[in-house]
Amino acid sequence: MANAMPWLEVGDRVFTRRYAYLDQQIGLVLGRGEALLIDTRATPRLARELMEDVRSVTRDPVTVAVNTHWHWDHSFGNSVTRPAVIWGHERCRDRLIAEGAAAIAEQAAGDLERRADFEAVVIDPPDRTLTIAADVEVGGRRIELRYLGRGHTDHDVVVRVPDAHVLFAGDLLENDAVPWFGDGYPMDWPATVDRLRSLIDGPVVPGHGTVGGLAFVERQLAEFRVVVTVARRLHAGELDRQAALAAMPYDSASSVEPLDRALAQLRGDLD
């Protein structure tokens, strides 16, 4: 496919494929006779392309898909993976049911080129859910799903393949771009990534951007901590808004949303 790079084997029979659209990483874990997918892409058409791309690695069926979180680019391909079992956090399921139709309408209205693709989305939420932790077996391999606290959303799940030392972080981490805070909890995000850090013993695959390791995670964690510090100082009146925006770790256009979400949290508006 012209818009896709080949699968990268980041651990023993653990792959990720980086798609040009949204610079997104999709994970694939092979077990004996079956396979597990991590996230399902943004539309049924893109999910069908993904399932074709899986065929270049294995003829075994995808029996399990995992949604790292409810966002459209991670879950709108779900229906195409059936009859696979779909795992996700219980709030991933709840939010897809409550907000999925509105998210389809928003994407269809905002992307004329893909309008028909978005209108073809069938909201198909996870049928297996976790609140804190679940282990999933795929062809003799144990895959760990863990909720570590609020961050990019109120229900981000990380996926760890212990026998291959690989961690899929979902959108708790994004490489090569500013993480998206629009649905996020900036005041909680550093503690969550700090817990994530203790699960790292090899490559870390972010939801978007280049595969990294501990150094990349430390760098991103340091930036999340700056957001918290700046927001606290602004909230306490120690900085004015302009100085706060200038002290953020991101360019000024990208700093407004994280700062405002952090302030909303400090005011208690997001609880």
Q: Which residues bind Zn ion (CB under 5 A)?
A: 71, 171
Residue labelled with tokens 């959303």: 153
Helix (H) or strand (E) holding 231, with range, is helix 214-235
The nearer residue to Zn ion, 124 or 171, going by C-beta atoms, is 171
Angle at CA of residue 147, ends 145 and 148, nearest 5°: 125
C-beta of 71: minimal distance to Zn ion in Å? 4
C-beta of 206: minimal distance to Zn ion in Å? 11
Helical axes 214-235 vs 189-197, angle rounded to 10°: 160
Sign for the CA dihedral angle at 163, 93, 89, 215 comes to: positive
C-beta of 258: minimal distance to Zn ion in Å? 14
Contact 76, 43 (CB under 8 A): yes
The nearer residue to Zn ion, 31 or 88, going by C-beta atoms, is 88
The nearer residue to Zn ion, 13 or 208, going by C-beta atoms, is 208
The nearer residue to Zn ion, 173 or 245, going by C-beta atoms, is 173
What are the distances in angstroms from CA 197 to CA 59, 173, 252? 34, 11, 28
C-beta of 251: minimal distance to Zn ion in Å? 20
Contact 203, 160 (CB under 8 A): no
The nearer residue to Zn ion, 22 or 85, going by C-beta atoms, is 22
C-beta of 179: minimal distance to Zn ion in Å? 9
The nearer residue to Zn ion, 30 or 104, going by C-beta atoms, is 104
C-beta of 95: minimal distance to Zn ion in Å? 12
CA–CA dist 112, 142 (Å, integer):
41
Contact 128, 89 (CB under 8 A): no
CA–CA dist 260, 231 (Å, integer):
8
